[in-house]
Structure 1
Amino acid sequence: MLAVLGDLVEDVVVWPSGPIRPRTDTASRVFRRRGGSAANVAVAAARHGPVRFLGRVGDDAAGRALTDALAACGVDVRVQRSGTTGAVVVLVDPDGERTMLPDRGSAAELTGLDPFWLDGVTLLHLPAYSLVAEPIGTAARAAADTVVRGGGSVSVDASSTGALSGFGVPRFRSLLGDLRPSHLLANRDESDLLGLPAGVPPGCTVVVKDGARPARVHVPGAAPVDVAVAPVPGVRDTTGAGDAFAGGHLAAVLAGADPVRACAAGHVEAARVLGLPGAGGWRGADCPAWT
């Protein structure tokens, strides 16, 4: 089984009508969505097989609504409840590029997991967000150790140049050496920042995404392979596309796909969210996105 450890938060997605006008109003469309990198990955993966989400939400109405919505998408939800549920304001420009203003709230306060949460987990996916803050970072590393000792493996998504820079690139690369992931996913900017694929742990497959351009798959001991992205008409919002890619990719890996076919499966999932506001639904059965 795939498990994803990390954030489940509310995304407040803002589509301004034009450039932001300081000190006055800018007419906008505003959407409330289920968000959080880990939760987005879980929803995409749940389209193809069993997946478990591990995280923390506030003991509040938002946390209850978000976990209900995630469960309605077919995800096995295991959460701690304390504090205040996190939220992220996502500003999306007309070309679909987004700028995020996160307040992770209780999501980053995940502490030691119930050991039963990891029963049956053969692949644990960790967005970098789950590794670069505390106490969630300690919980994530302990969970990874448990899964690996049980014969499973770990995958990591580089997630954010801002988060990586704040944590420290050498420190993150050292952490990858400790985790020894079987798969590392990154976009072009994250890959350049980390200097990929150089220096990754032995046996790690690296997938570098590049928007509408082909992704490059680096399999240890083999020449890199470029995997084309099918054209997607009407791209409006790239929020969560990388998470959807990860969910599709990892589900395919667990189903036995080779890295190239798994990459192609990731592209298919990413395409599903590009025409919609945000990455996920907020009202139960409206998965993977509420229109």
Structure 2
Amino acid sequence: MAIPVVVVGDVATDVVVMPSGAPAPGSDRPAAIRSRGGGAGANVAFHLARLGAPTLLAGCIGDDAAGAGLAAELTAAGVELRLRVVPGTATGTIVSLVEPDGQRSMLADRGANLALRPADVPAPAAGGHLHLSGYTLLDPGPREAGLAALAAARAAGCTVSVDPASIGPLGAYGVDRWLADTAAATMVLPNADEARLLTGCADPTDAARALAGRHAAVAVTLGPDGALWAAGERLVHRPARPAAVVDTTGAGDAFTAGLLAVWLDDPQGDPAVALGAGLARAADVVERAGAR
């Protein structure tokens, strides 16, 4: 795969907390706690680079050891970095609370990621691809940078993929506003809940079809039920790969990278192959703690 990809999005440390036993309010609960590289943009860039895509990541980190360590990890994975160090600001941190069934809730301190500005986003090469993490649009700080990235990609004739990020912030941001901001995206990659929110359709299949009326391609992740692809009148479903689920953190980002690596290499190819590649990458990630 030789199509250059610019990823714009968050870089963060994931603090993965895996408690055991029943909740114990006012007392102690044993837990395994690990720190891992995270951030939706960084996760996608990491996996794309590992899959052989020439990948540049644009974002912000703090002037701290965490930021330096994350930059080193991404460089070692083959990601070209365009990360601005924000003085006096901490690198983003996400606490991911993973329950015994593998499901998780997150506490987010986005830190330096909120300082992203249009000048931090490089103009993509003509014929390249932009992947924009939806978190970039959902806060007033980095929003202008996200919009600038979308405008630059359109001007360069690039394909564009966007993920809606998270249903809570997305709902607060506003569906109509989101749809207007991302109208020119080639591909959107929501999960089932996000697809329902964006369309008002209760069934993910109907939601995928509705979004395909706005975008050239749509990939909807369905958790343990796999994923859907919608493009025009075509709808394709692939089941999830069997996996011993430990932690679902970053599964969506891994799916995005796996799918994009195949789709960008052959946009007219069989979407079932692209879905399968995304689901395989996600299955690999959920079998261990952390997003990558």
TM-score w.r.t. length of structure 1: 0.90
* Counterpart contact for 1:121–1:147, Cα < 8 Å: no
Query: What are structure 1's unaligned runs of at least 5 residues?
Result: 281-291
How far off is 1:176 after superposition? 2.2
Which of 255, 258, 264 aligns to 2:265? It is 255
* Counterpart contact for 1:113–1:143, Cα < 8 Å: no
SS in 1 for 2:189: strand
* One-letter identity of the residue aligned with 1:171: R
SS in 2 for 1:91: strand
Match of 1:61 in 2: 65
Hey, what's the Cα distance between the residues in 2 that align with 1:53 and 1:251?
Answer: 15
Hey, what's the Cα distance between the residues in 2 that align with 1:45 and 1:73?
Answer: 9
* Counterpart contact for 2:104–2:248, Cα < 8 Å: yes
Hey, what's the Cα distance between the residues in 2 that align with 1:97 and 1:106?
Answer: 27
Hey, what's the Cα distance between the residues in 1 that align with 2:116 and 2:29?
Answer: 37
Which of 17, 20, 27 aligns to 1:17? It is 20
Match of 1:274 in 2: 286
Match of 1:207 in 2: 219
* One-letter identity of the residue aligned with 2:260: L
Which of 19, 39, 42 aligns to 2:42? It is 39
* Counterpart contact for 2:14–2:95, Cα < 8 Å: yes
How far off is 1:203 after superposition? 4.1
Hey, what's the Cα distance between the residues in 2 that align with 1:116 and 1:4?
Answer: 10
Hey, what's the Cα distance between the residues in 2 that align with 1:279 and 1:120?
Answer: 31
How far off is 1:214 after superposition? 3.0
* Counterpart contact for 2:251–2:291, Cα < 8 Å: yes
Q: 1:31 to 1:54 in 2, by over 3 A?
A: same
* Counterpart contact for 1:3–1:121, Cα < 8 Å: no
* Counterpart contact for 2:125–2:156, Cα < 8 Å: no
Q: 1:40 to 1:121 in 2, by over 3 A?
A: farther
* Counterpart contact for 2:126–2:156, Cα < 8 Å: no
* Counterpart contact for 1:58–1:106, Cα < 8 Å: yes
Higher relative contact order (CA 8 A, sep 6+): 1
What is the RMSD of the two structures over their aligned residues, measured on CA atoms? 1.7
* Corresponding position: 1:29 with 2:32: yes
TM-score w.r.t. length of structure 2: 0.89
Q: Deviations over 1:215-243 (max 9, x none)?
A: 111112x23111122212x2110000000
Q: 1:271 to 1:199 in 2, by over 3 A?
A: closer
Hey, what's the Cα distance between the residues in 1 that align with 2:193 and 2:121?
Answer: 36
Identity of aligned residues (%): 38
Hey, what's the Cα distance between the residues in 1 that align with 2:138 and 2:193?
Answer: 18
Hey, what's the Cα distance between the residues in 2 that align with 1:29 and 1:75?
Answer: 29
Q: 1:209 to 1:68 in 2, by over 3 A?
A: same
* One-letter identity of the residue aligned with 1:239: T
Which of 242, 260, 264 aligns to 1:231? It is 242
Hey, what's the Cα distance between the residues in 2 that align with 1:51 and 1:121?
Answer: 14
Hey, what's the Cα distance between the residues in 2 that align with 1:123 and 1:153?
Answer: 5
Q: 1:73 to 1:153 in 2, by over 3 A?
A: same
Hey, what's the Cα distance between the residues in 2 that align with 1:140 and 1:133?
Answer: 10
Which of 95, 99, 111 aligns to 2:101? It is 95
Which of 242, 259, 262 aligns to 2:252? It is 242
Query: What are structure 2's unaligned runs of at least 5 residues?
Result: 200-206
Hey, what's the Cα distance between the residues in 2 that align with 1:126 and 1:116?
Answer: 13
How far off is 1:188 after superposition? 1.0
Hey, what's the Cα distance between the residues in 1 that align with 2:102 and 2:116?
Answer: 31
Match of 1:289 in 2: none
Hey, what's the Cα distance between the residues in 1 that align with 2:174 and 2:196?
Answer: 14
* Counterpart contact for 2:12–2:91, Cα < 8 Å: yes
